[in-house]
Amino acid sequence: MKIICIGSGNVATHMAGAFKKKGHDLIQVWSRDADHAEALASSLGAKVVADLGEIDLNADLYLIAIKDDAISSVAHALGEVSGLVVHTSGATSIAELDRFKSHGVLYPLQTFSKAKEVDFKDIPLCIEAVDADSLNKLRTIAAELSKLVYEVDSDKRKILHLSAVFACNFVNHLYELGAQVLRSHDLDFEMLRPLIMETAVKVQTEMPASVQTGPAVRDDEQTILKHLELLESSPHLKEIYQTLSESIKNSN
């Protein structure tokens, strides 16, 4: 397949790289950020295009992996392409691409960092397409990259994206709050890392509710009060501690 990559962020970089590895031909890269575009294009053996008007109209796949609020304007600046046009956004409706005959969504439910390699075959890919033809194409494309392909419509994809905010973005922030607590007492975040891993490993086979531990789930008010005392000088952490402890108690 001839593929054009629009965007040069984490998702664009990892997904275009995964296609390249599968032997596909990445022919052009466009990005708002010229330096990033240059770096990605050179790693893919593709050409940089500075203007969306220069994009080849005869590629097989147009991969739009850019910020959600830019998808609409970029879609409107693209010419009359004949290939399949997809965006990779969890929170954006498929309808944003409806000026293209063949279009869809290829949403990877994963968190990417530029520096870190990921194995695409273990990443859930959520696909949606405007018609049966596009869906067949997209199904084949997705199955090449990952063994976890789900058909998910735009409404459910938004829910998935929202659940990921809880289970990934907020979780990472709680790691950070844990690190803050340690830092304020000259303790090293390193000490928490094995616990963080095990907490994630546990729910790979169990449901989280069944492996909940800690003072809130066992109604250990004495420990909760001691913790709130320790947080007396950090009203912000105290508020989060109280909110989440209440939530755990109410889930019982």
Residue 240 binds to its own copies (criterion: CB under 8 A): yes
Residue 212 binds to its own copies (criterion: CB under 8 A): yes
The stretch near its own copies (CB under 8 A) out of 33-41, 46-54, 77-85, 154-162 is: 154-162
Residue 137 binds to its own copies (criterion: CB under 8 A): no
CA distances 68 to 73, 91, 106, 121, 181, Å, are 10, 7, 14, 25, 34
Residue 37 binds to its own copies (criterion: CB under 8 A): no
Size of the site for its own copies (CB under 8 A): 90
CA distances 43 to 2, 26, 75, 141, Å, are 16, 10, 25, 21
- Pair 146, 121: CB distance under 8 Å: yes
Member of 123, 129, 138, 141 binding its own copies (CB under 8 A): 123
The stretch near its own copies (CB under 8 A) out of 28-36, 58-66, 134-142, 233-241 is: 233-241
Residue 52 binds to its own copies (criterion: CB under 8 A): no
The whole-angstrom separation of Cα 138 and Cα 107 is 11
Residue 252 binds to its own copies (criterion: CB under 8 A): no
Site for its own copies in 67-106 (CB under 8 A): 67-69, 91
Residue 234 binds to its own copies (criterion: CB under 8 A): no
Quick one: how far is CA 210 from the chain centroid?
26
The stretch near its own copies (CB under 8 A) out of 13-21, 46-54, 134-142, 198-206 is: 198-206
Q: How far is the CB of 25 from its own copies (least distance, A)?
A: 28
Q: How many CA atoms lie within 13 A of 146 on its CB side?
A: 22
Give the pairing type, strands 2-6 and 47-48.
unpaired
Contacts of 174 (CB under 8 A, 6+ apart): none
The stretch near its own copies (CB under 8 A) out of 17-25, 34-42, 72-80, 122-130 is: 122-130
